[in-house]
Amino acid sequence: MGAYVIRRLLGAIPLLIVITAVVFSLMQLAPGGPLAVYGENPHLTAEDLEAIKVAMGLDKPPVIQYLYWLKEVIQLNFGHSLFTGRAVLEMIGERIPATLLLMTVAMSFSLLVGVILGVISAIKQYSKFDFSVTTLAFIGYSLPPFWFGIVLMIVFASTLQWLPAGGFADYGQEGNPLNVLSHLILPAAMLSILQIASWSRYTRSSMLEVIRQEYIRTARAKGLDEWSVIVKHGLRNGLIPVVTVVALSLPSLFAGAIMTETIFTWPGVGRLFFDALTKSDYPVLMAILTISASLVVIGNLLADMIYALLDPRIRLS
């Protein structure tokens, strides 16, 4: 196991370096270069711009700039926002709680519902229930999430006026859990529909495979009741692939859901990314892109390791 972990960790390092290079090159495509924002300021003369350029090291060749940037990034310094002048990490940091709250609520709810639906579907394969869940999952997959969000907003916020249309909490109510909860319901519902669809499919196919195994037949043959067979013997093995897929979706806990956060003006990292892109705030963009991509790599590693941990057959082969 130890050698396996070390091999995977070493394999991730070049991947991370390439990702930072891709993010850095992406920013080189910005029209007008990184200083275009300053160009709009009438108080800055051409000499001033030149001075900023030299001060920021932008007169050096891109490769050197990249190495400078990489050196800082490794030390977790992502620089300062072009607009607020504040440290980028600090700006991201204060958005993380909102994103984390939204994503954990949506994810745990949809996992619970999705796994239950998937297990029942698998046990009763080809039944009416299975057929309905399958059809609903297909619909969930095909539903444009942004449209679903807007429909939710129209129905529950603007027409019925049961729930607020956006934001994290009413002014001055940020500490009131009930108020936050009322703002949380619609965006969480929007996120859940797609996730329930995919968790139910994963669980169903994984459970179907498990149910056909010989140890399930053995469990039945030794006279266990159906509940123990399904939950203790079936689900514990059937959930292994699901757990790894959960690990794979952990990075989204950080970046959140850009669309959801944009539609419901949820003050999370996704919304910060959207705003930073609209304003061309490059340091913020680069930080969010780099961190999210790195988390994906780490999530992949974690998923593989969890899989190896839970299923000894992987480790041994």
Applying CB under 8 A, among 118, 251, 267, 268 the residue interacting with another protein is: 251
Q: CA angle 212-216-221, nearest 5°? A: 125
Burial of 282 (0-12, 13-18, 19+ CB in 10 A): buried
Applying CB under 8 A, among 34, 242, 262, 303 the residue interacting with another protein is: 262
Judged by CB under 8 A, the chain residues 193 through 222 that form the site for another protein are: 205
258 near another protein, judged by CB under 8 A: yes
CB of 266 to another protein, least distance (A): 15
Judged by CB under 8 A, the chain residues 134 through 193 that form the site for another protein are: 135, 138-139, 141-148, 150-151, 153-154, 158-159
Applying CB under 8 A, among 65, 203, 237, 292 the residue interacting with another protein is: 292
Which segment (41-49, 133-141, 211-219, 225-233) binds another protein by CB under 8 A? 133-141
Judged by CB under 8 A, the chain residues 43 through 102 that form the site for another protein are: none
132 near another protein, judged by CB under 8 A: no
CB of 243 to another protein, least distance (A): 20
285 near another protein, judged by CB under 8 A: yes
CB of 71 to another protein, least distance (A): 21
Which segment (99-107, 113-121, 176-184, 291-299) binds another protein by CB under 8 A? 291-299
Distance in angstroms (rounded) separating the CA atoms of residues 21 and 25: 6
Please count the residues of this chain forming the interface with another protein, following the rule CB under 8 A: 45
Applying CB under 8 A, among 115, 296, 303, 305 the residue interacting with another protein is: 296
Applying CB under 8 A, among 120, 255, 272, 284 the residue interacting with another protein is: 255
3-state secondary structure the chain: CHHHHHHHHHHHHHHHHHHHHHHHHHHHCCCCCCCHHHHCCCCCCHHHHHHHHHHCCCCCCHHHHHHHHHHHHHCCCCCECCCCCCEHHHHHHHHHHHHHHHHHHHHHHHHHHHHHHHHHHHHCCCCHHHHHHHHHHHHHHHCCHHHHHHHHHHHHHHHCCCCCCCCCCCCCCCCCHHHHHHHHHHHHHHHHHHHHHHHHHHHHHHHHHHHCCHHHHHHHHCCCCHHHHHHHHHHHHHHHHHHHHHHHCCCHHHHCCHHHHHHCCCCCHHHHHHHHHHHCCHHHHHHHHHHHHHHHHHHHHHHHHHHHHHCHHHHHC
Nearer to another protein, 98 or 255 (CB): 255
Nearer to another protein, 41 or 159 (CB): 159
Q: Using CB under 8 A as the criterion, which residues of the chain lie in contact with another protein when the complex forms?
A: 14-15, 18-19, 22-23, 26, 29-31, 135, 138-139, 141-148, 150-151, 153-154, 158-159, 205, 251, 255, 258-259, 262, 273-274, 277, 280, 285, 288-289, 292-293, 296-297, 300
